Structures are given as structure tokens and as C-alpha cells.
Structure 1
Amino acid sequence: MTDFRIGFGYDVHQLKENVDFWLGGIKIPHHSGAVGHSDADVLIHVICDALLGAANLRDIGYHFSDQDPQYKGIDSKLLLKEVLVLLEKSGYVLGNLDATICLQQPKINPHIPAMKACLAEVMQVAEGQISIKATTTETLGFVGRQEGVSAYCVALIQRKNLPNS
């Protein structure tokens, strides 16, 4: 079995006025927010998918169906904690992750330190293991028209040092 594995996550959420905007576990002040079955935190969703994919554990929708009422409006940080339990049970820990948020407005760079601090606490890892970047699409496409937000993430996981291994 390999000691290192890489996973990839991608997600999109529609933006709607007068909805709270949760991103990276924090509430971003803005007139629009992402909509979804949960709190629609697109960054946490791609992190979950990247980690699950790296461990060959399918995807976030498989584990937390949007058809299941128990996940309606759920804080995505709780989903991330559950993903980390699954990762741990599979014998892996996070090496690092690198994520990019695609959003025209609001500007995300000022919020990245708070997102990293929040995610590091939830994941019980060092902030240095989490890279978050932000970009626009230069007004092109659904992101550029401010109709939605998308995010990408790659994660490196490594096998834990187990006794007698």
C-alpha cells in the first residue's frame, strides 16, 4: 500500500441575495451567499471531496446525501470533522491541501487568514498545511456574472506511522 495519496475536489454553488455566505468555515459579509442543502460552504466541500478521493472513499454526496433531511442546513465544519474520522479509520492523515476559490465578489484575500485559522482548528492541523488562494474569472462565465462560486482543492494524505509497520 502506498504511503502518499493525492485527491482532487471541485464544487459549485449558486449565489443568491439575502443568504448567509459561509466560506472556509467563516461567515463572509456580503449581500449574497451560496445556496445548497447544507450551509453551502463550497471551500469545505472541495476539501472534503479531495480528502475522500485521496483515501478512495468516494465523495461527499455519497456520505452526506442532499436527500437526507439530517444534513439540511448543516454546518459544513461538522461534515469535515466526519470526513477526518473516515480518513483516520482508513489509516491516513493530512499532509497538506491547496485550494482555490473562484469568485468575482466579494474579495476573499482579506478573509483567508481567518479561514485558515478556522480550518486548522477544525482539522487539528497546522495552518501551514492549508493553502487557500482566491481568483476571479475576469467577469467571464457564471462566476464573472456573480451567479455562483466555484472552488478546487488538491490534498495530499499520508499513511500514519502504525506500530510494527
Structure 2
Amino acid sequence: MKIRVGQGYDVHRQGKGEELWLGGIKFEHTHGLIGHSDADVLIHAICDAILGAANMRDIGFHFADTDPQYKGIDSKILLKDVMELVRKEGWELGNIDCTIVAEKPKINPHIPAMKNCLADVMSVDEDDISIKATTSERMGFVGREEGMAVHAVALIQKA
């Protein structure tokens, strides 16, 4: 059996009054994330991890932030498209492991809903998705609440 591992990392700036989408779920919060799409930093890191594992470049290569068709797009659509791309090449997801780095809001209460949403979009079992959350102990751009970051690792295998 052939397996591969990919790593994804994404950051987005925070802005007052912006919507906050993480893992396909809308959070109620005073600050959201700024981006060309809906700025779902979790989904973007997952896409990069999966694409990287399949040696298919990154999310920006497939869905350029200069392309007007992706302006404001729901990142769940991008994730679904990524899964179709890698499946066409004969790959299937083994699992993903993600860490969201954010000071606020509290992420842990929303993890079950995010896992459920992502599993549905990706057509995988919730058990194949691990989401963790941490802060940066008030250090750096995350600590100053200027942005959020996500680290993701994906394991894929030939179907």
C-alpha cells in the first residue's frame, strides 16, 4: 500500500465586524477573518495538507486569490473540489490532524460541529478528522489577536 503525508499551514488577519468561519461553521464573534474567500483558515490548511500529500501543489495554485470567481466563496466548496482532485488521481484520505492557534473565541466547544461538517464535505468518517485548539500564550500576531493560524497534517493512501 502506498501512503503519503502532507503538511498544511495557513494564516489570516482578523478584522472587526468580519464573519468568522472555521471548519465550515460560522462562529459568533466580534472579529472575523479577512481573505479573498470566506477566509476559513482551517479548511485552507486542510486543503494544503491534502494537496501537498498528493504532490498537487497548493490551494493557491488551484484556486487563485486573484481570480474573481473565488471572491467570497464558501471554502467548503474548495475542500470538496480538492477531494475530487485527489480522488481522480487514485488517492483516498487516511486521516487529518489539525491545530487551530487562536486566542479568542474558545474553539473547543465547536469542535464536534466542525468535525461533523468537514466529514460530510469530504465524505469521510468523523473519526478520520482530529481538530485541536491552543493559544499562543498572548505572544506574536495570534497573541495580539491580529490573526489566526492553523497547522494541518494529512495522510493519504492509494485507493
Q: Give the TM-score normalised by structure 2.
A: 0.99
- The alignment partner of 2:131 has SS state of strand
Matching residue's letter, 1:151: V
Equivalent residues in 2 for 1:10-159, closer than 5 Å: 10-159=9-158
How many Å separate the matches in 2 of 1:89 and 1:46? 21
Structural RMSD (CA): 0.6
Deviation at 1:70, TM superposition (A): 0.1
How many Å separate the matches in 2 of 1:88 and 1:124? 11
Structure 1 residue ranges without an equivalent (≥5): 161-165
- The alignment partner of 1:38 has SS state of coil
Count the aligned residue pairs: 159
Structure 2 residue ranges without an equivalent (≥5): none
How many Å separate the matches in 1 of 2:110 and 2:128? 17
- The alignment partner of 2:98 has SS state of strand
Q: Give the TM-score normalised by structure 1.
A: 0.95
Following TM superposition, the consecutive aligned residue runs of length 4 or more in structure 1 with deviations greater than 6 angstroms are none
Computing the radius of gyration from Cα coordinates, the structure with the larger value is 1
Deviation at 1:106, TM superposition (A): 0.4
How many Å separate the matches in 2 of 1:85 and 1:123? 9
How many Å separate the matches in 2 of 1:51 and 1:10? 11
Identity of aligned residues (%): 64
How many Å separate the matches in 2 of 1:24 and 1:143? 18
